A and B are shown apart, each in its own frame.
Chain A
Amino acid sequence: MNTTAQEPIVTDAELVARLQAGDESAFEKLVRTYMPRLLRVARRFLSSEEDARDAVQDAFVSVFKSIKNFEKNAQLSTWLHRIIINSSLMKLRSRRRRPEQEIETLLPRFQEDGHQVEPSTPWTESAQTVLERAELRDAVRKSIDQLPESYREILLLRDIEELTADETAEALGISKNVVKVRLHRARQALRTLLDPSMRTVPA
């Protein structure tokens, strides 16, 4: 183990080189630098703080184990992001499913002629007001939490974590087409849940 004073670690490439050489101070640097970002991702997937912290800890255990195999040209942050997503999903799978609303009840309904049963009206609030008002941000997060699990995780992976459809399909072990269908339904369901708070003018 080498914990003597060395050149400061500046770039990720230097950090990886030190990690691969087994430098303990590099591990602490890695944890201090990246842990907040990993915890933030885990908290999106897991509603319990304890579970989120467990997922972060599991992620670092697997980082410590597999850093040897990390390829020089890969992006450290991307690799860590993938690891925390996998450990969050694993933790999520180990939790008992809570009762949830059927997605169909949250999708738009159509008449026989193809028109919406209840025509949509414009929103008066926007994403900008969500940014400005904490209670609206809470409402949006609560609505995301209300989505059925198999839809919520796809919305998080695609729209929040910005994985591609292929990466999402791989992470969940489902087809790209299922990802696509569920993402659209998840967004529609979330839109339905947000509609009352985003539309302050009565329809």
Chain B
Amino acid sequence: MSVRPYLPCSEVIGFLADYIDRVLPPETIVEFERHLAVCASCVAYLASYKETIRAARIAEDVIADAPEELIEAILRSRLQ
């Protein structure tokens, strides 16, 4: 009985976006999970890839201010 080869890390990392969006065919997901079960590097990469997206969202979620001079400039341009 031959053993199925594991997907290479390059393919796992290459299709990570599709994996987290759950748009891969079921048989590919099985292959992904077989790989992740034995590859600490890809597990770390996957976790940090997801964390990158979250960190970007948090960092860009700044409080919005309303400069009065900008409000007035906009309202003035309306009256022109």
The docked-state distance in angstroms from the alpha carbon of A53 to that of B70 is 7
Contact B60 A144 (CB under 8 A): yes
Contact A198 B51 (CB under 8 A): yes
The docked-state distance in angstroms from the alpha carbon of A125 to that of B42 is 18
With A35-B70, A115-B41 already in contact, the answer to whether A64 and B56 are too (CB < 8 A) is no
Of all chain B residues, the one with the shortest Cβ separation from A160 is: B60
Contact B45 A108 (CB under 8 A): yes
What B residues does A180 contact at CB under 8 A?
17
- Which residues 121-142 of A have a CB within 8 angstroms of B? 121-123, 126-127, 130-131, 137-138, 140-141
The docked-state distance in angstroms from the alpha carbon of A121 to that of B16 is 17
If over half of A's interface residues share one DSSP class (helix, strand or loop), that class is named, otherwise mixed; here it is: helix
With A131-B58, A159-B53, A183-B17 already in contact, the answer to whether A36 and B44 are too (CB < 8 A) is no
Contact A61 B77 (CB under 8 A): yes
Contact B64 A141 (CB under 8 A): no
Q: Give me 9 A-to-B residue pairs in the complex whose CB atoms sit less than 8 angstroms apart, sorted by A's number.
A: A36-B65, A40-B64, A114-B9, A115-B9, A116-B10, A122-B44, A126-B54, A159-B57, A191-B49
Interface residues of B (CB under 8 A from A): 8-11, 13-14, 16-17, 40-45, 47-49, 51-60, 62, 64-67, 70-71, 73-75, 77-78
Interface residues of A (CB under 8 A from B): 27-28, 31-32, 35-37, 39-40, 43-44, 53, 56-57, 60-61, 64, 108, 110, 113-116, 119-123, 126-127, 130-131, 137-138, 140-141, 144, 155-156, 159-160, 180, 183-184, 187-188, 190-191, 194-195, 198
